[in-house]
Chain A
């Protein structure tokens, strides 16, 4: 089931995962059970995912994250916001990101 994610929401990496960059690969490793799907799996983020993840600090709303990335990458904000929501949906359903209220 997908989490309902909107541009006004704020997200941060869960304390139950560790993100590591190893030899240019950005990987997310679950610490506690119930994160991810299977326990012997790790997750890697692509370049888009990595850029979004780096901005998810638990303070900025997703629309602001998209705004910053739009300026950095000189890309349409609508497109970036779609990517942000897509990534957050994927990771929130795996409990790798948590909503900050």
Chain B
């Protein structure tokens, strides 16, 4: 941070401007479309790019602009355009410029296949002020298109990435770890390290989410692509020292039983996600009918002030949840949440066995659990956390 007599310059993500204050809406996700021009084997949200029925239901340009205007009026700083593939929308440029002129920073999640020379020039002239996030599905045509199942998508993605590099548009890359590309992980990381804006190794999705809309026909296929908890641990600990350091910091802050309220995460507090059809959700994945608010008949403000707080107060009465997740101190290691429960089981508070196994595997590696122990049965877990956090690497 640099100080002048009248002006302070700081990176917004590091800013302490609002320290101690909860902004009504600090960050808003907008899923511009559920459609995607790729057809990835593991994806939880893609509809075909030419799904006209889905396209017809999507919010209009003016409706999205009104949402952006309200977001800015509520103090929103960053809007994330995601999807599906957000660049599929014909009005993407108009929405992007509109958001930027409202003084919003725009974070774009994309596969980069639709980045043209024109769009790259636009991003150079009117920068998003957030690094674009590009998911890369493989380093070779055979692996990439083995995942996306769209011929030509490999060349299109690499053309898009080259344009970002050429025009010096800050971006970062992420991976999705799949049987088609898992042998390329070293090559991917070596390449990613040369991208000027990558300040750490790429992250991966690997414990794949099931379909957000619970169109269960694809769920068995997605489950079959999930790596085992042990394989996941191997990936997570590839950069062992960094992993341990991060885990210590993480454990010091976030490990404790979540109690009988399944919404122990921050979802719906200071943010949320608008889906492609105008429903406002506490988070990107949670589409349970009891948790979505129709913005066509309301406002972001009403949802944030009245609807989300009610949801967050919900208590579980599921005995399985109350005897397991509610008592489990591995909260910080486990991805169990109402959204994951919704995707896996169609409820808000059913334990997700796969996530439980992933968390237990990591906890054993970190020395927080012994072989055969269950986290919800551990007495004196605070001492274990303290010892782990204070232990020399």
Chain A interfacial positions (CB closer than 8 Å to B): 18-20, 22-23, 25, 27, 29-33, 36-37, 39-46, 48-49, 52, 83, 86-87, 90-91
- CB pair B125–A40 under 8 Å, yes or no, is no
Chain B stretch 109-135: residues in CB contact (< 8 A) with chain A: 124-127, 129-131
Name 15 extra pairs, CB < 8 A, besides A18-B103, A27-B103. Answer: A19-B103, A22-B17, A31-B126, A40-B131, A41-B9, A42-B9, A45-B6, A45-B7, A46-B7, A48-B5, A83-B6, A86-B5, A87-B6, A87-B7, A90-B4
Q: List 29 A-B contacts (CB under 8 A).
A: A19-B103, A23-B75, A25-B17, A30-B127, A31-B103, A32-B126, A32-B127, A37-B9, A39-B129, A40-B11, A40-B130, A40-B131, A41-B10, A42-B10, A42-B15, A42-B129, A43-B7, A43-B8, A44-B8, A44-B10, A44-B17, A46-B6, A48-B5, A48-B6, A49-B6, A49-B7, A52-B6, A86-B6, A87-B5
CB-defined contacts of B10 to chain A, threshold 8 Å: 41-42, 44
Cα A68 to Cα B72 in complex, Å, equals 31
Specify the chain A residue showing the minimal Cβ separation from B128.
Answer: A39
Contact residue range for chain B?
A: 20 to 34
CB-defined contacts of B8 to chain A, threshold 8 Å: 43-46
Specify the chain A residue showing the minimal Cβ separation from B8.
Answer: A44
Q: Knowing A18-B103, A20-B72, A29-B103 are in contact, say whether A44-B7 is a contact too (CB < 8 A).
A: yes
CB-defined contacts of A22 to chain B, threshold 8 Å: 17-18, 23, 75, 77
- CB pair A41–B23 under 8 Å, yes or no, is no
Asked whether B100 is an interface residue with its Cβ less than 8 Å from the other chain, the reply is yes
Cα A90 to Cα B7 in complex, Å, equals 8
Chain B window 1-30, contacts with chain A (Cβ cutoff 8 Å), 1 for yes, 0 for no? 000111111111101011001010000000
Count chain A CB atoms within 10 A of each CB in B4, B6, B105 and give the residue with the most. Answer: B6
CB distance from B86 to the nearest CB of A (A): 20
Cα A86 to Cα B7 in complex, Å, equals 10
Asked whether B262 is an interface residue with its Cβ less than 8 Å from the other chain, the reply is no
CB-defined contacts of A36 to chain B, threshold 8 Å: 9
CB-defined contacts of B9 to chain A, threshold 8 Å: 36-37, 41-43
Specify the chain B residue showing the minimal Cβ separation from A18.
Answer: B103
Q: Knowing A18-B101, A32-B126, A87-B6 are in contact, say whether A40-B23 is a contact too (CB < 8 A).
A: no
CB-defined contacts of B278 to chain A, threshold 8 Å: none
CB-defined contacts of B131 to chain A, threshold 8 Å: 40
Specify the chain B residue showing the minimal Cβ separation from A36.
Answer: B9
B18: contacting residue among A25, A42, A49, A90, CB under 8 A: A25
- CB pair A91–B7 under 8 Å, yes or no, is yes
Asked whether B170 is an interface residue with its Cβ less than 8 Å from the other chain, the reply is yes
Q: Knowing A23-B21, A41-B10 are in contact, say whether A31-B100 is a contact too (CB < 8 A).
A: yes
Cα A23 to Cα B72 in complex, Å, equals 12
B126: contacting residue among A33, A44, A49, A86, CB under 8 A: A33
CB-defined contacts of A19 to chain B, threshold 8 Å: 103
Cα A92 to Cα B155 in complex, Å, equals 44
Cα A63 to Cα B75 in complex, Å, equals 33
CB-defined contacts of A39 to chain B, threshold 8 Å: 127, 129, 170
Q: Knowing A31-B100, A86-B6, A87-B7 are in contact, say whether A40-B129 is a contact too (CB < 8 A).
A: yes
- CB pair B7–A33 under 8 Å, yes or no, is no
Q: Which 4 A-B pairs have the closest CB atoms?
A: A18-B103, A49-B6, A22-B75, A87-B6
CB-defined contacts of A45 to chain B, threshold 8 Å: 6-8
CB-defined contacts of B72 to chain A, threshold 8 Å: 20
